[in-house]
Chains A and B, each alone.
Chain A
């Protein structure tokens, strides 16, 4: 035990004396959370639009007022001619143009039908889509208000309700993802680098010749990172609660346990990487390419798994991060207990055991 404490003390010296690893450990999580939370967002706010109103009657005025009163849009320009549409888009001043047809009110009364064209700049398809949806919903609302007075035989009113994230805040989606990335990065990359560093410096050999046992070396190397990863997880949860006002609905205790499980699986991967790479550079490259990319692309963090081609959907099952994100979303957003996520937990546990077994086996072969 005394040896173990000495070993861990040494490991902390390494971490705290290396600015680069300190930054990765503590700077990165905060920077990433803030970046994803504030800068990268799917919500729209105060989008500049232009209006081309061919009729300029009471109805169109009312609709335009409604749109400009919403916090989503601000009317930047009123244009007069069809030709100007292209021009305002090219200048990049507006993201959308609403084009009301001639005799809007009249048509509405006469034909019970009038059209407004929503032209959006689809160079950014997500935003274009969102804008178009928002405008449609404002129009629909207006129409319903008008129809209250008139009696129609029947009408189907869709009532969409977004549950678990009613305001569609994108931070709700990013927090679980970023937490996953960070825990993976800190646990897997940092451990694999710190173990290969000992190999590169030749100190690993000295350690193997000493009476300290190989598994003690590995546990000694990994332990500080378990500790630091847990701190990171806590920091991320606190940031999301206090800065982004994203409440954790479920049990914090369960969240903690699941995080520790994921951290251990990432550490096992880190050890595995260290057994196959001879230098720190290799370890870093393998960690980044082999772990980070799949976590970002295939875990369902950014791109929904259900819309991926089948082969990728199958591959995504092999990524521990996918399961962890499902678990995190379950606990943080839906507030579910273990009875709803036991399957994912079991898969993650199985993977962890598998990775540990594999790295122990690899490590032994290397000693031979």
Chain B
């Protein structure tokens, strides 16, 4: 296995009965890369992610994440990755600080480390005023940023973001991508799914899934060249229409 590849999947397949949700996908993600994982709803993105983060066993094929096998070393993978779902799941009835303390705690951070991280996070996001407010009272955009920062608390090697920008306004999305870039500069690998095609342009490399298979995988620039179109949106349309 190549040292610079933090994710490596070979023929990764998931079947539910007769239905093949993910059909022998093969790809790798390099360290520090922002990897866009695109596809229409139902293309198999979420199922693929679930296998990579170790909460669903592949039917066949294999994958290594952060150097660990997804079928046999799921527990090791969990310590090395961060995950943010489309629901920005934080506890609404806990304050910002309590959420950070809780998630820091389940990742086994020490009390001192949690304190340090809490301070850092609150300063970075400018949350001084609301740190002791219940998360439920905050706007969606803030929840999303806090959720992302919480996923980075334990300094994971890879962060999986499952449609992280659903339902937030364009300005907040922009700010969010700035946060992604910052994390990427610090060496964190970003694995992100989205169906906003403009966001695909921000990725270093992009894969496009159609009906459980990866139909295209390259830099946005190369993909546009290959399909002779001007935008990722058109690349996607061409692929989806077959």
Residues on A close to B: CB < 8 A?
2-3, 6-7, 9-10, 13-14, 17-18, 201-203, 205-212, 367-368
Stretch in contact with the other chain, from B35-43, B94-102, B178-186: B94-102
Nearest 3 Cβ contacts at the A-B interface: A6-B105, A202-B87, A202-B89
Is there an interface contact between A6 and B102, defined as CB atoms closer than 8 Å? yes
Q: Determine the residue in chain B with the shortest Cβ distance to A201.
A: B89
Q: Which of B57, B87, B93, B103 contacts A13 (CB under 8 A)?
A: B93
Most buried by A among B53, B75, B78: B78
Is there an interface contact between B108 and A3, defined as CB atoms closer than 8 Å? yes
Is there an interface contact between A368 and B106, defined as CB atoms closer than 8 Å? no
User: Total A-B pairs in contact (CB under 8 Å)?
Assistant: 68
Q: A14-B93, A207-B106, A211-B106 are in contact. List 16 more A-B contacts (CB 8 A).
A: A2-B108, A3-B105, A3-B106, A10-B98, A13-B91, A13-B94, A17-B134, A205-B55, A205-B83, A205-B85, A206-B83, A209-B53, A209-B54, A211-B78, A211-B107, A368-B56
0/1 per residue, B15-36, Cβ < 8 Å to A?
0000000000000000000000
Known: A14-B93, A201-B92. A209 touches B81 (CB 8 A): yes
A13: B residues at CB distance < 8 A: 91, 93-94, 98
Report B78 CB to chain A, min CB distance, Å.
5
CA–CA, A7 to B102, complex, Å? 7
Known: A3-B105, A209-B55, A210-B106. A10 touches B91 (CB 8 A): yes
Q: Determine the residue in chain A with the shortest Cβ distance to B83.
A: A209
7 inter-chain pairs at a CB distance below 8 angstroms, sorted by A residue, are A6-B106, A202-B87, A203-B90, A208-B55, A209-B54, A209-B81, A368-B57
Known: A6-B106, A208-B55, A368-B56. A14 touches B91 (CB 8 A): yes
Q: Determine the residue in chain A with the shortest Cβ distance to B150.
A: A206
Residues on B close to A: CB < 8 A?
53-57, 75, 78-79, 81, 83, 85-87, 89-94, 98, 101-103, 105-108, 134
B86: A residues at CB distance < 8 A: 202
Known: A203-B89, A203-B91, A212-B106. A6 touches B101 (CB 8 A): yes
Report B68 CB to chain A, min CB distance, Å.
12
Most buried by B among A209, A212, A367: A209
B89: A residues at CB distance < 8 A: 201-203, 205-206
Q: Which of A10, A210, A368 contacts B94 (CB under 8 A)?
A: A10
CA–CA, A24 to B158, complex, Å? 43
CA–CA, A57 to B54, complex, Å? 94
A17: B residues at CB distance < 8 A: 93, 134
Q: Determine the residue in chain B with the shortest Cβ distance to A209.
A: B83
Report A88 CB to chain B, min CB distance, Å.
59
CA–CA, A209 to B191, complex, Å? 15
CA–CA, A201 to B56, complex, Å? 20
A208: B residues at CB distance < 8 A: 55
CA–CA, A211 to B57, complex, Å? 17
Most buried by B among A6, A7, A203, A206: A206
CA–CA, A212 to B94, complex, Å? 19
Is there an interface contact between B106 and A367, defined as CB atoms closer than 8 Å? no
Report B137 CB to chain A, min CB distance, Å.
12
Report B162 CB to chain A, min CB distance, Å.
9
A202: B residues at CB distance < 8 A: 85-87, 89
Report B133 CB to chain A, min CB distance, Å.
13
Is there an interface contact between B55 and A7, defined as CB atoms closer than 8 Å? no
